[in-house]
Structure 1
Amino acid sequence: MREFRHDIAGDRVTVHVPETAEDLDRFREWLDRARERGPIAVDTETTGLDIYRPGYRLRTVQLGDAHDAWVLLYERGGEHAQHAREALQCCGHVLIHNANFDWLVLDEHAGTPLESLAPRTVDTRILATLIDPRQQSEGGIGTGLKPLSARWVDPTAPDTQAGLQSVFRAHGLTKETGWAGIPLMDPTFLLYAGLDVILTARLEPVLRREHSRLGIRPELVQYEHEIARICAVMQRRGLLVDQEYAEPLARRLAEEAERYRAMAARYGVTKVGSSAQVAEALAGMGETLTERTKSGALQTDKAVLLPLADLDRDWQRIGAREPNPLANAVLRAKRAKKWGEDYAQGFMSKLDAHGRIHPAIAPLAARTGRMSVTDGLHQLPSSDHVVRRAILAEPGHVKVSTDFVAVELRVLAALAHVRRMREAIAAGEDLHAFTARMVWGPDFTPRHRKVSKGISFGKVYGGGLDVIVRQTGAPEAEVRSALAAYDRVYPEIKRAASRWQRQAVANGMVYVSPVGRRLPLDRDRTYAVTNYACQSTARDVLGQALLNMEAAGLLEYMRLPIHDEILMSVPAEDAADVARETERCMTFPLFGVPIAAEAEVGGRSWGSLYGADY
């Protein structure tokens, strides 16, 4: 038996590493006693993050409480792996930090089904996020185990993490290769592994007390665990990739990127990623750049270049100006490179043995609780079919996408009690056209509707005058006048924003959403409260839809939540019925405002829903 002693918050704790059959018997004796005292903390050490890649290994399984940790050498197989599997099956309640990852690791590599483990799990990361969702870079505690433990358990908790990185370097390994390459019996590695479950076990009761102090609802905790489980099921199933399409797509996009780089070079830009070169060349073409980075350099990111190329966020022509050819070339060169390398090549490099990718779905990614999906799939323009064409439904299936209808504005109308907006929704009106008619009168034009749409989303997302001008291409004076008229048409929005800001200030700069979610505000950005309120509630609308769909028996068809859309793979003969049932699950009232959804049945590929022919 290897044993390591360590001090945590003034207590001496022990990490045990069984090596013999007798050692494993001692572990079982400890487990029998520990299970009677309370939940068991569980963790894993693996060779990396790509759970479904060929060659992936589960190295250790750790179980522990506040004083003892047992590191089971799963990689050795035999009795070590058997004891780990049996222990996981017999634990009544477990604590895991970032459970989605360990659920899937243990499901795929340790014969412990997600469906068995998830209902018995409390995720300390969920508990912590509901207290403060901010990362350290945003002024929060962070949601990783080490920074949380440093805040709530012992300030020296991150020390072993730094020590492990030093060991990686001593073995000639990097942070990425270290987990697979470090010797299994390295003492620092084993101590690090064991301490994580002890820290998790100590963190949980502290977070529970903080929940009680802050009045965080137990129902919200349960809700987030259910959403996490549903997202893990979707991640486990993964997405089928059309390899015959993706490989040539990567080559074609590489050629496209090179063609647009050559165009940019004609204007003196030899590196399209160089902001200084792009800014200098644009200035030489008579363009005026005003936005700067924190270091004072002129910004030439996508938000700046799209209006110069006369393109909106979905890469559609605005019609406000003659497109700047350099801005257009830089944008398209960078996009083609990203799509070719991150998507087409990225998909091929991440395939499992069955030709699938498994994007990680983070149920609580943003401060507002909004979900995110890795591999960039939540960042695709809404008009794109090129990348989406590479993602296929199952054989004999078709893709079905169900999207909420103007959910942000419906949420805003519900939360702020916007009378005219509610009336327009109830009457089935196009909200943007209704707003344009209220602002400009019955003879409004399509351009007026676009400006109205920009103002509405500016209210929801926190975009001010400059952002709306840039995105719509309308003159500043016109947008300023329309903003004033908008506030007269919908005075409740401004009043609600002021009320929410006052409530947040009185609550220590924290806005509390209708479901009890705590959303910290930055003191210099209190105006963002409207965005936080709407985005958070829209996310919870999506969460409720996921629960409704599972209750209706649709989980087996669900593949991804993307913003306000749920993507599915459905047998072709059942597609129409499933689409109607999905719409039903995603339609319900929110404070008297109907939340509505529309389903679309496509072909075999995701791209078919966006114009692709397959």
Structure 2
Amino acid sequence: MSCIGLDVETTGIDWSDSLRTVQFGCGELAVVLDAASPLHRYAAAEVLSRADVWFTAHNAAFDIGHLHRAGLIDYRELWSRTVDTIILLRLLHPGDAWSRPAHGLKAATEQWCGQGASSADAKDALKALWRENKWRKESDGWKNTPVDAEPYILYGAADVFDGSLLCATLLPLAAELIGGAVIAREHRVQMLCHGMTLRGLRVDVEAAAQDAEATAELVEVLRADIADQFGLENPNSGKQLTAWFAARGVELPDTKADTIKALDLDGEAAELRDMLLKLRATSKEGATYLRKLSSASTDSDGITRLHPSIGALNARTGRFSITGPSMQNFPPSLRKYVLAEPGHVLVDADFSAVEVRLAAALAGDEALAGVFRRGEDPYLVVAGAIWGVNESTPPDLRKMRRSASKPVLLGHIYGRGPNSLAKSLGIEKNEAKALQSKMNELFPTLPAYVARARHSTAAGLTATRLPSGRVVQVHPREQYTASVNSTVQGAGRDLLVDALLALDDLGYGERVWLPIHDEWIVQVPEEEAEKACADLSRVMTTELRGVPITADAEVIGSHWRKA
């Protein structure tokens, strides 16, 4: 199959930026169209609408999104006839937890096509034009360069030359090594994720702006208090922090939050630690999230929305990633500002203990699989085997032991060492070893699975094909930490994908709101909430190699919160 290269240039990379040019091309011929010209827009729309023409773009969501918003073509229609070369790259070389794969257009063309990328020289010429005009920021260059300037036209043409060449190289290779069904599936998934971005998330911008202002004031108060009480003029300075703690006999290996939080401190050192962590958390809420919420753009219907980018293959395991902002790490205290559309509610369903279920299936551990077939709680089973927890155990102790069993069971699944387990539970190494011996008796097949995965990676078998047909990679240097984790995380992601495609088949494609970790959130009219709960539970309930995978749905209301 041959594809025409497709690319757009815009006034910038923010959601509010607009379309400037549309490029088509392949081989040595390219056409650059001015989006401000009615005649050129008509020509672009005519080409895009041809049902017999396939296109290729690199990071197609960017190009398709601008073409959709400019009214030139519906995004679903264009996705159905587009090959995204970044999807092909991420399927062929997802990353191995050690080396950085070449997923950029220029680097990928050079690596896979055996020749220099046209876009490299074209970008250099464009930057020279920016320097001549004293446009020091790229955003100024993209916005101000005349669309008929030769370097600008050549730059647009170069991208479609490289894109079409890269597609011609990668597509047959991916079809042979990965399979056409996987390629088609991942394009459909990215199309559905792109729809979530385009629809956006409604924001209570006024309330968020008020909170942003109050948070900024609190940050200044905390900084002043730290300066007054501890003499630290700049609490963000690693050098000042290291010197302050060293003067009190505390050596800091680094100034990361986890490092500081783990220190056994007392007196003023503990006071500073607590105030510093509060300052960092408050600053992050204000700078990363509240600022983004309060500056969200107003859409054409007059409603203010966030439009975060959702990547279906950005992580090396394929786990969904969300940026602009990171919705997976969104502070629970700020979720109240993210709302369903008027008259709608959010419905959520989360896989239950999915990592443990997947490990049981992939390892073929019948003892662990039996726990799920009997409908038992795996963490309570572990707590019972280790600490004798049962139905007569006091509720508070039962809850505490169940919580403590999580790192024990997950450590057993991922081959965690006794030192790490001891540190996690606050116990001695010999106690951790005793716990691991009990786990080996309880679920005996898992250790062999972990060892086999590590030995295979060390021997050079660095790629593992998942049940979906997709591949995950692990570098031999990362065999101890990533061999099993990559497979389990990758398989978990593919279960989410199965559910997404099933939701689309049921007509929920335009109602899916967000993926968060192991859950899907959909947005439906209030009167359809019960039906959506039933549908969501059904599509997320399945099995893998005889191990049941379950999920329960719940209505979470008119604003985002934890179900």
Q: TM-score, normalised by structure 1?
A: 0.83
Q: Give the AA of the match of 1:337.
A: S
Pairing 1:114-263 to 2, within 5 Å after superposition: 114-134=75-95, 138-157=98-117, 158-173=120-135, 174-211=137-174, 215-263=177-225
Pairing 1:165-564 to 2, within 5 Å after superposition: 165-173=127-135, 174-211=137-174, 215-265=177-227, 266-283=229-246, 289=252, 298-308=253-263, 324-353=270-299, 354-380=303-329, 384-442=331-389, 445=397, 446-458=399-411, 468-469=421-422, 471-505=424-458, 508-527=461-480, 528-564=482-518
Q: Indicate the residue corresponding to 2:535 in structure 1.
A: 581
Distance 1:70 1:463, change over 3 A: farther
Q: Secondary structure at the match of 1:194?
A: helix
Partner of residue 12 from structure 2, selected from 48, 52, 58: 48
8 Å contact kept, 1:500–1:511 = no
Q: Indicate the residue corresponding to 1:596 in structure 2.
A: 550
Aligned CA RMSD, in angstroms, stands at 2.7
State yes or no: 1:85 paired with 2:40: no
Cα deviation for residue 139 of structure 1 reads: 2.2
Distance in 1 (alpha carbons) for counterparts of 2:320 and 2:77: 24
Q: Secondary structure at the match of 2:147?
A: coil
% of aligned pairs identical?
32
8 Å contact kept, 1:504–1:511 = no
Q: Give the AA of the match of 2:162.
A: L
Per-residue CA deviations over 1:391-415 (Å, capped at 9, x if unaligned) read 0011122222211111111111111
Q: Give the AA of the match of 1:343.
A: Y
Q: Give the AA of the match of 2:367.
A: R
Distance in 2 (alpha carbons) for counterparts of 1:323 and 1:449: 33
Cα deviation for residue 467 of structure 1 reads: 5.1
Q: TM-score, normalised by structure 2?
A: 0.90
Partner of residue 60 from structure 1, selected from 8, 12, 21: 21
Task: Name which of structure 1's ranges 452-461 and 56-65 shifts more when overlaid on structure 2.
Answer: 452-461
Task: Name which of structure 1's ranges 145-154 and 358-367 shifts more when overlaid on structure 2.
Answer: 145-154
Task: Name which of structure 1's ranges 446-455 and 64-73 shifts more when overlaid on structure 2.
Answer: 446-455
Cα deviation for residue 578 of structure 1 reads: 0.9
Distance 1:388 1:459, change over 3 A: farther
Cα deviation for residue 461 of structure 1 reads: 6.7
State yes or no: 1:97 paired with 2:97: no
Distance in 2 (alpha carbons) for counterparts of 1:218 and 1:243: 44
Distance in 2 (alpha carbons) for counterparts of 1:283 and 1:434: 46
Cα deviation for residue 588 of structure 1 reads: 0.8
Q: Give the AA of the match of 1:562.
A: I
Cα deviation for residue 131 of structure 1 reads: 0.8
Distance in 2 (alpha carbons) for counterparts of 1:380 and 1:171: 41
8 Å contact kept, 2:414–2:450 = no
Distance 1:424 1:529, change over 3 A: same
Distance 1:449 1:349, change over 3 A: same
Cα deviation for residue 110 of structure 1 reads: 3.9
Q: Secondary structure at the match of 2:332?
A: coil
Per-residue CA deviations over 1:260-313 (Å, capped at 9, x if unaligned) read 334544334433322333344445556565xxxxxxxx2221322344499xxx
Q: Indicate the residue corresponding to 1:20 in structure 2.
A: none
Cα deviation for residue 152 of structure 1 reads: 1.8
Distance in 2 (alpha carbons) for counterparts of 1:583 and 1:483: 35
Q: Secondary structure at the match of 1:559?
A: strand
Q: Give the AA of the match of 1:143.
A: H
Higher RCO structure (Cα 8 Å, ≥6 apart): 2
Distance 1:288 1:253, change over 3 A: same
Distance in 1 (alpha carbons) for counterparts of 2:448 and 2:206: 55
Q: Secondary structure at the match of 1:555?
A: coil
Per-residue CA deviations over 1:539-559 (Å, capped at 9, x if unaligned) read 101111100111112223211
Q: How many corresponding residue pairs?
A: 547
